[in-house]
Protein backbone atom coordinates (compact mmCIF):
# COMPACT_ATOMS: atom_id res chain seq x y z
CA UNK A 1 0.00 0.00 0.00
CA UNK A 2 1.08 3.55 -0.75
CA UNK A 3 0.31 6.26 1.79
CA UNK A 4 0.69 9.90 0.87
CA UNK A 5 1.04 12.40 3.71
CA UNK A 6 -0.57 15.53 2.37
CA UNK A 7 -1.49 19.11 3.21
CA UNK A 8 -4.02 20.56 0.74
CA UNK A 9 -2.75 23.24 -1.67
CA UNK A 10 0.90 22.58 -0.90
CA UNK A 11 3.66 20.79 -2.83
CA UNK A 12 2.16 17.44 -1.83
CA UNK A 13 -0.72 18.20 -4.20
CA UNK A 14 1.83 17.51 -6.94
CA UNK A 15 2.23 13.94 -5.74
CA UNK A 16 -1.51 13.52 -5.23
CA UNK A 17 -2.17 14.62 -8.80
CA UNK A 18 0.53 12.27 -10.09
CA UNK A 19 -0.85 9.29 -8.16
CA UNK A 20 -4.28 10.01 -9.57
CA UNK A 21 -2.81 10.11 -13.08
CA UNK A 22 -0.99 6.82 -12.56
CA UNK A 23 -4.12 5.12 -11.27
CA UNK A 24 -2.32 3.02 -8.68
CA UNK A 25 -4.05 2.17 -5.39
CA UNK A 26 -3.10 4.56 -2.58
CA UNK A 27 -4.44 6.24 0.51
CA UNK A 28 -4.07 9.81 1.73
CA UNK A 29 -3.40 10.99 5.25
CA UNK A 30 -4.20 14.68 5.50
CA UNK A 31 -2.26 16.86 7.93
CA UNK A 32 -2.98 20.42 9.01
CA UNK A 33 -0.46 22.96 7.74
CA UNK A 34 0.80 23.86 11.19
CA UNK A 35 3.36 23.04 13.88
CA UNK A 36 2.22 19.41 14.00
CA UNK A 37 4.51 18.85 11.01
CA UNK A 38 7.39 19.40 13.45
CA UNK A 39 6.22 16.59 15.77
CA UNK A 40 8.67 13.68 16.16
CA UNK A 41 6.21 11.28 14.54
CA UNK A 42 6.06 13.31 11.36
CA UNK A 43 9.77 14.13 11.37
CA UNK A 44 10.42 10.39 11.20
CA UNK A 45 8.71 10.52 7.79
CA UNK A 46 10.12 13.82 6.56
CA UNK A 47 13.07 15.13 8.57
CA UNK A 48 12.56 18.75 7.51
CA UNK A 49 8.91 18.66 8.57
CA UNK A 50 7.56 19.19 5.08
CA UNK A 51 5.06 17.50 2.80
CA UNK A 52 4.87 15.37 0.83
CA UNK A 53 6.02 12.28 2.63
CA UNK A 54 5.36 8.96 0.99
CA UNK A 55 5.26 5.50 2.54
CA UNK A 56 5.67 2.70 0.02
CA UNK A 57 6.60 -0.95 0.54
CA UNK A 58 7.81 -0.26 4.05
CA UNK A 59 10.10 2.54 2.90
CA UNK A 60 9.72 6.29 3.31
CA UNK A 61 10.35 9.04 0.79
CA UNK A 62 10.29 12.81 0.83
CA UNK A 63 11.05 15.57 -1.72
CA UNK A 64 8.63 15.91 -4.62
CA UNK A 65 11.20 15.61 -7.38
CA UNK A 66 12.55 12.32 -6.02
CA UNK A 67 9.04 10.98 -5.46
CA UNK A 68 8.03 11.93 -9.00
CA UNK A 69 11.05 10.22 -10.52
CA UNK A 70 10.53 7.06 -8.45
CA UNK A 71 6.81 6.72 -9.09
CA UNK A 72 7.23 7.26 -12.82
CA UNK A 73 10.14 4.82 -13.09
CA UNK A 74 8.16 2.19 -11.23
CA UNK A 75 4.64 2.62 -12.59
CA UNK A 76 4.77 4.64 -15.82
CA UNK A 77 8.33 4.86 -17.20
CA UNK A 78 7.31 5.75 -20.76
CA UNK A 79 3.88 7.20 -20.08
CA UNK A 80 4.09 9.87 -17.41
CA UNK A 81 7.85 9.37 -17.26
CA UNK A 82 10.57 9.17 -19.88
CA UNK A 83 13.00 6.27 -19.57
CA UNK A 84 16.75 6.80 -19.29
CA UNK A 85 18.28 6.85 -22.74
CA UNK A 86 15.13 7.95 -24.55
CA UNK A 87 15.15 11.24 -26.51
CA UNK A 88 12.82 13.04 -24.10
CA UNK A 89 14.58 12.08 -20.88
CA UNK A 90 16.76 15.19 -20.55
CA UNK A 91 13.97 17.71 -21.06
CA UNK A 92 11.66 15.66 -18.83
CA UNK A 93 14.15 15.92 -15.96
CA UNK A 94 14.67 19.63 -16.51
CA UNK A 95 10.97 20.48 -16.34
CA UNK A 96 10.13 18.09 -13.50
CA UNK A 97 12.73 19.86 -11.37
CA UNK A 98 11.94 23.35 -12.68
CA UNK A 99 8.71 23.02 -10.71
CA UNK A 100 10.67 23.53 -7.53
CA UNK A 101 12.08 26.82 -8.84
CA UNK A 102 8.53 28.08 -9.26
CA UNK A 103 7.50 26.70 -5.89
CA UNK A 104 10.26 28.35 -3.89
CA UNK A 105 9.12 31.82 -5.03
CA UNK A 106 5.48 30.93 -4.42
CA UNK A 107 6.37 29.69 -0.94
CA UNK A 108 7.90 33.08 -0.13
CA UNK A 109 4.75 34.83 -1.35
CA UNK A 110 2.58 32.42 0.63
CA UNK A 111 4.56 33.25 3.74
CA UNK A 112 4.14 36.97 3.16
CA UNK A 113 0.46 36.96 2.23
CA UNK A 114 -0.93 34.01 4.17
CA UNK A 115 1.32 32.79 6.97
CA UNK A 116 2.19 36.18 8.45
CA UNK A 117 -0.73 37.64 10.34
CA UNK A 118 0.87 40.86 11.58
CA UNK A 119 0.95 43.47 8.81
CA UNK A 120 4.02 45.09 10.34
CA UNK A 121 6.01 41.92 9.60
CA UNK A 122 5.11 41.83 5.90
CA UNK A 123 7.63 43.16 3.42
CA UNK A 124 6.43 44.89 0.24
CA UNK A 125 10.00 44.60 -1.05
CA UNK A 126 10.05 40.83 -0.66
CA UNK A 127 6.62 40.57 -2.27
CA UNK A 128 7.72 42.68 -5.24
CA UNK A 129 10.92 40.70 -5.75
CA UNK A 130 9.27 37.31 -5.49
CA UNK A 131 6.42 38.32 -7.78
CA UNK A 132 8.99 39.42 -10.37
CA UNK A 133 10.73 36.06 -10.02
CA UNK A 134 7.45 34.26 -10.61
CA UNK A 135 7.05 36.32 -13.76
CA UNK A 136 10.49 35.14 -14.92
CA UNK A 137 9.31 31.57 -14.39
CA UNK A 138 6.19 32.33 -16.41
CA UNK A 139 8.43 33.75 -19.14
CA UNK A 140 10.39 30.50 -19.28
CA UNK A 141 7.24 28.38 -19.58
CA UNK A 142 5.75 30.74 -22.15
CA UNK A 143 8.90 30.52 -24.26
CA UNK A 144 8.84 26.75 -24.08
CA UNK A 145 5.19 26.53 -25.09
CA UNK A 146 5.73 29.05 -27.89
CA UNK A 147 8.46 26.98 -29.56
CA UNK A 148 7.24 26.38 -33.14
CA UNK A 149 6.90 22.61 -33.26
CA UNK A 150 4.02 20.41 -34.30
CA UNK A 151 1.46 19.54 -31.61
CA UNK A 152 2.89 21.83 -28.92
CA UNK A 153 0.17 21.13 -26.36
CA UNK A 154 2.46 20.18 -23.48
CA UNK A 155 5.94 20.91 -22.16
CA UNK A 156 7.41 17.93 -24.01
CA UNK A 157 6.97 17.42 -27.71
CA UNK A 158 6.32 13.75 -26.97
CA UNK A 159 3.11 14.57 -25.12
CA UNK A 160 1.65 14.92 -21.63
CA UNK A 161 3.90 13.76 -18.81
CA UNK A 162 4.75 14.20 -15.15
CA UNK A 163 6.59 17.36 -16.22
CA UNK A 164 3.21 18.96 -16.89
CA UNK A 165 1.94 17.69 -13.55
CA UNK A 166 4.93 19.06 -11.65
CA UNK A 167 5.08 22.48 -13.30
CA UNK A 168 1.30 22.69 -13.54
CA UNK A 169 0.84 22.24 -9.82
CA UNK A 170 3.52 24.85 -9.11
CA UNK A 171 1.74 27.29 -11.42
CA UNK A 172 -1.58 26.47 -9.73
CA UNK A 173 -0.08 27.81 -6.51
CA UNK A 174 1.74 30.73 -8.15
CA UNK A 175 -1.40 32.07 -9.82
CA UNK A 176 -2.74 32.97 -6.38
CA UNK A 177 -0.20 35.82 -6.47
CA UNK A 178 0.51 36.55 -10.14
CA UNK A 179 -1.93 36.39 -13.04
CA UNK A 180 -0.88 35.07 -16.42
CA UNK A 181 -1.12 38.55 -17.94
CA UNK A 182 0.76 38.60 -21.24
CA UNK A 183 1.48 34.86 -21.17
CA UNK A 184 -1.28 33.51 -23.43
CA UNK A 185 0.32 30.15 -24.18
CA UNK A 186 0.83 29.55 -20.47
CA UNK A 187 -2.83 30.31 -19.88
CA UNK A 188 -4.01 27.93 -22.59
CA UNK A 189 -1.69 25.16 -21.40
CA UNK A 190 -2.82 25.61 -17.80
CA UNK A 191 -6.48 25.45 -18.79
CA UNK A 192 -5.78 22.30 -20.81
CA UNK A 193 -4.02 20.36 -18.08
CA UNK A 194 -6.34 21.42 -15.27
CA UNK A 195 -9.32 19.98 -17.14
CA UNK A 196 -7.88 16.52 -16.50
CA UNK A 197 -9.89 14.38 -14.04
CA UNK A 198 -6.73 13.56 -12.06
CA UNK A 199 -6.12 17.25 -11.41
CA UNK A 200 -9.72 17.78 -10.37
CA UNK A 201 -9.43 14.86 -7.96
CA UNK A 202 -6.45 16.51 -6.27
CA UNK A 203 -8.27 19.74 -5.42
CA UNK A 204 -9.26 20.32 -1.78
CA UNK A 205 -12.72 20.90 -0.46
CA UNK A 206 -13.48 24.34 0.88
CA UNK A 207 -12.70 23.36 4.48
CA UNK A 208 -9.21 22.17 3.58
CA UNK A 209 -7.91 25.18 1.68
CA UNK A 210 -4.60 26.81 2.53
CA UNK A 211 -5.55 29.86 0.46
CA UNK A 212 -8.81 31.48 1.47
CA UNK A 213 -8.70 33.74 -1.59
CA UNK A 214 -8.36 32.85 -5.23
CA UNK A 215 -5.98 35.80 -5.72
CA UNK A 216 -3.95 37.95 -3.33
CA UNK A 217 -3.33 41.44 -4.74
CA UNK A 218 -0.09 43.28 -4.11
CA UNK A 219 0.18 44.51 -0.56
CA UNK A 220 1.71 47.81 0.43
CA UNK A 221 2.70 49.07 3.86
**Domains recognised in the chain with CATH numbers:** 89-196 (1.20.1050.10)
Strands (E), the chain: 2-6, 26-30, 53-56, 59-62
Share of the chain above pLDDT 70, in %: 98
Taking the CB of residue 46, how many other CB atoms lie within 10 A of it? 19
Cα–Cα nearest to 174, from 100, 98, 105, 95 = 105
Beta carbons of 198 and 95 less than 8 angstroms apart: no
pTM value?
0.95
pLDDT tens digit string along 132-167?
A: 999 999 999 999 999 887 668 999 999 999 999 999
Q: Lowest-confidence range among 31-40, 118-127, 148-157?
A: 148-157
Per-residue model confidence (pLDDT) at position 206:
74
Q: Lowest-confidence range among 15-19, 132-136, 143-147, 207-211?
A: 207-211
Amino acid sequence: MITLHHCPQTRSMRTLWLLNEIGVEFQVQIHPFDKSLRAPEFLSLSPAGRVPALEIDGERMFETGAITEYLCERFSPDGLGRSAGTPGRMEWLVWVHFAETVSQHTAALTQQHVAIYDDSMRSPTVMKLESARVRKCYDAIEARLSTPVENRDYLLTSGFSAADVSVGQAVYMARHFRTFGDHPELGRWFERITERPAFRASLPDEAGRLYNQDFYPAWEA
